[in-house]
Amino acid sequence: MNKFLRFTVSWVKYLVRPFFPVKFFGDSKIPTKKLLLMGNHLSAMDPVVQALYTKEVPSYVYKSELAKSKFLKWIFDGLDLIPVNRGESDLHATRQIMRRLKDNRVVGIFPEGTRNLDVDCLQEFKHGTVLFAIKTKAPIKPFYIWDRYRLFVRNYVIYGEEFDLSDFYDKPITKELIAEASKFIWGKIDALRLQLNEILQQKGIKRRPRTKKEIAKLNQHLQKQAEQSQEGE
């Protein structure tokens, strides 16, 4: 991160936080070391708001389409974020992620690979993200975001304890191994989902009602998933 943006982010984030209030559960402190942050993905604001509440800004992975604006690209490059071309094998992004982890940096990844329109579930994880944890032997700190970030609406995030994939180290990389490791990570994050739901239920906190537009998009998404599932059978 260049010095100007480091200075700017260090004080601007305190001014922006009130616009996106967040209540954290678990240990939300992000240590400065080789670490993978992995959690669910609900909106384009996820990495932005997460960064507002961390001492150091992790190198989050973001879709390259967002960098079409030269100004945004300048911001993203200055914050050392990592663009990735979705839907294809992006070797450049892979090298960038691996390099940061080897340099004992924090990298944020959303293993679902795309935003989830259903806020109370996890999509299947992209298996490629698991390779970073296995090849670099980087510990993983999981988190779960309760709902989409909205202006002046309190959201809730829970962090879990760090874990690693040591049971999968130094073994031949096969599709079966990756699938098993991915399922293991999925289970850790889904357990946080259930834990946070229970905490908020006990406090009498409910999610806001979905808008008609959100419901329509979700139904369209679920129908598309059903059609793809039928085609795969």
Where in the chain are the domains? 3-232
More confident residue, 16 or 57: 16
Residue 151 has pLDDT above 90, yes or no: yes
Q: How many CB atoms sit inside 10 A of residue 218's CB? A: 15
d(C-alpha 121, C-alpha 28), whole Å: 22
d(C-alpha 35, C-alpha 67), whole Å: 25
pLDDT for the residue 45: 86
Residue 2 has pLDDT above 70, yes or no: no
pLDDT for the residue 85: 79
d(C-alpha 120, C-alpha 166), whole Å: 29
Task: Tell me the pLDDT of the chain averaged across its residues.
Answer: 87
Q: Which CATH class is domain 3-232?
A: alpha beta
Task: Name the range with the highest mean pLDDT among 90-99, 175-184, 219-228.
Answer: 175-184
Partners of residue 124 on adjacent β-strands: none
131 by Cβ neighbours in 10 Å (0-12 / 13-18 / 19+) ranks as middle
pLDDT for the residue 231: 65
At residue 138 the predicted structure's pLDDT band, cuts being 50, 70 and 90, is very high
Residue 126 has pLDDT above 90, yes or no: no
Q: Is the Cβ–Cβ distance between 61 and 80 less than 8 Å? A: no
Residue 76 has pLDDT above 80, yes or no: no
Question: Average pLDDT, stretch 13-19?
Answer: 88
Q: How many CB atoms sit inside 10 A of residue 207's CB? A: 13
Residues whose CB is less than 8 angstroms from the CB of residue 105 and which lie 6 or more positions away in sequence, other chains included: 34, 58, 59
